[in-house]
Structure 1
């Protein structure tokens, strides 16, 4: 990490009261799950509850672990997501207008003390249109646009340790799904995100360059009700600046997840997922991630 990077980050610590963290959510903006880009028939509704717990102890800058220098002990997040999805048909295409509402708690433990925030995050609205959907081959290609609205709980004095982000975001994705064999399937997703300005980030103005990434899921079916998946995520770009000064924190980070999903009833699916980081150029190394997802079909 160069001297300018250290100087700017030190100034950030003084301004925010927390240590050297350009952004807590410096990763995939919407991490997809296996099957997200397999369209369902028009008229179906999904009520989804996500419960996510993550733990981080090591913080990286320019590929080097600097947790002790940054005074970081541990970051923990306990986040829930409520999601409603409604499938419709318009002009011969399947669409799924939806809304996502995050809530939960973020806690950062440093040598200077503990900073935490809890409450409701920024709602996300939008949906996917499937421009190609072959019901016989089960191949599909969809385009997604989601807008994150700056309506969540936010305290500018806490800088990155917040549930809300105090800025607009536009998240776009393109996803393709295809069977590989009778029991194997592949999902490939590309993501691109545009960020608005946060004018109160610990007393500073925070800007962020566009962020992009790829996501892949390879799934094995064990009958119609059960599926196991191995997933890979890689994120690029997204360098931030404070009051016009670049933070040299561009992403080149990767992670993996292993997932098991099962329909415990014809209209209720339960998914369990474990994951962790593979490599981190800038940001937190995720030691452990545990996700639970419950899907109710209406």
Structure 2
């Protein structure tokens, strides 16, 4: 497989365990609406995606790269605890990804399964107006490179063999009694992977924007339309730039419903809009279960 294709596949695959196609942490509507101190959330996510189109510099090169299909089945376990620190709501949390990634090419099939790199950190809300339901929060999350990783499989891994620092800033505001808007900016710093198929892989900082427009139907149900756009993140192998900088976007529709006052289900469907470098996401199916403690 050509080196540029290998690196670009890595740029796509290494982001999948948490975020899907590009965003390092793909947020959902409601993530930045703070809950009272003392509340805990136990969350389970499941994501299934399929891709058979691969792009480099805006052109599809699936045949050139020998790619037939990429399949991912990824789960996440997440625990969030809300506390009060000096009058500010803070939510220390841990995220543990697990699952399977399979890449089919003309040369054969490669897959990886197991537990990925755990992510720890949290959000602090610098502004939290319960009456107006407006809020502003800052997040810092660190990805710890102790997950399943096989250097010979290169991009087809659950773990990444590198540190990451993921930062976000988010603003939440109601538009009407039933419509709300959430705007999120993300910026990620990457450590080096010093054993990527025998090469040293470095990656520039990545940044992006996320937006959620939601409509509430009573107290229990909410429909959401989301948009994600990601930039940057060009990688290099042994010091050679790979020209795989992101300029990718996608949309997603969600339905959230509380089946009881302390249990919520969420179903999502989405797909890519435009891809400059990486896999075009034909179909994304997500499921989330939240238990409030």
Structure 1 consecutive aligned stretches of length 4 or more whose deviation exceeds 6 Å? none
Which residue of the partner structure matches residue 22 of structure 1? 10
Work out which of the residue numbers 113, 121, 129 in structure 2 matches 1:118.
113
CA distance in 2, matches of 1:257, 1:21: 22
Are residue 261 (structure 1) and residue 256 (structure 2) matched? yes
Equivalence for 1:5: none
Deviations 1:108-131 (A, max 9, x none): 000000000000000000000000
Residue aligning to 1:139:
134
- Indicate conservation of the 8 Å contact 1:149/1:169, yes or no: yes
Q: Does 1:277 align with 2:272?
A: yes
Aligned length: 286
Deviation at 1:193, TM superposition (A): 0.1
Aligned position for 1:10: 2
Q: CA deviation at 1:11?
A: 4.0
Structure 2 CA distance, aligned partners of 1:291 and 1:215?
A: 17
Paired with 1:20 and 1:110, the residues of 2 have a C-alpha distance of 15
Distance in 2 of aligned mates of 1:12 and 1:114: 19
Please name the residue that 2:174 is paired with.
179
Task: Give yes or no for contact 1:103–1:121 (8 Å, CA) kept in 2.
Answer: yes
Partner-residue secondary structure (3-state), 2:32? coil
Q: Aligned residue for 1:241?
A: 236
Structure 1: state its 5+ residue gaps: 1-8
Partner Cα distance (2:242, 2:191) in 1? 17
Query: CA offset at residue 271 of structure 1?
Result: 0.1
Alpha carbons of structure 1 residues 32 and 19: separation in structure 2 relative to 1, 3 Å: closer
Q: 1:191 to 1:170 in 2, by over 3 A?
A: same
**How many Å separate the matches in 2 of 1:263 and 1:196?**
39
CA distance in 1 between counterparts of 2:181 and 2:14 reads 27
**Which residue is 1:47 aligned to?**
42
The whole-number CA distance in structure 1 between the counterparts of 2:3 and 2:174 is: 51
- Structure-2-length-normalised TM-score: 0.96
State the match for 1:200 in structure 2. Answer: 195
Task: Identify unmatched segments of 5+ residues in structure 2.
Answer: 16-21
Aligned twin of 2:19: none
From 74, 78, 93, the counterpart of 1:79? 74
CA-based RMSD of the aligned residues comes to 1.2
Counterpart Cα distance in 1 of 2:236 and 2:51: 23
Relative to structure 1, the CA distance from residue 139 to residue 20 in structure 2 (aligned partners, 3 Å threshold; closer, same or farther) is closer
- Cα shift at 1:10: 1.8
Deviations 1:19-39 (A, max 9, x none): 962331351000000010000
**CA distance in 2: counterparts of 1:80 and 1:150, whole angstroms:** 18
**Aligned counterpart, 2:218:** 223
Aligned pair partner of 1:61 in 56, 80, 93 = 56
1:130 corresponds, among 102, 119, 125, to 125
Counterpart contact for 2:185–2:210, Cα < 8 Å: yes
Instruction: Tell me how far apart the structure 2 counterparts of residues 228 and 154 of structure 1 sit (CA, whole Å).
Output: 37
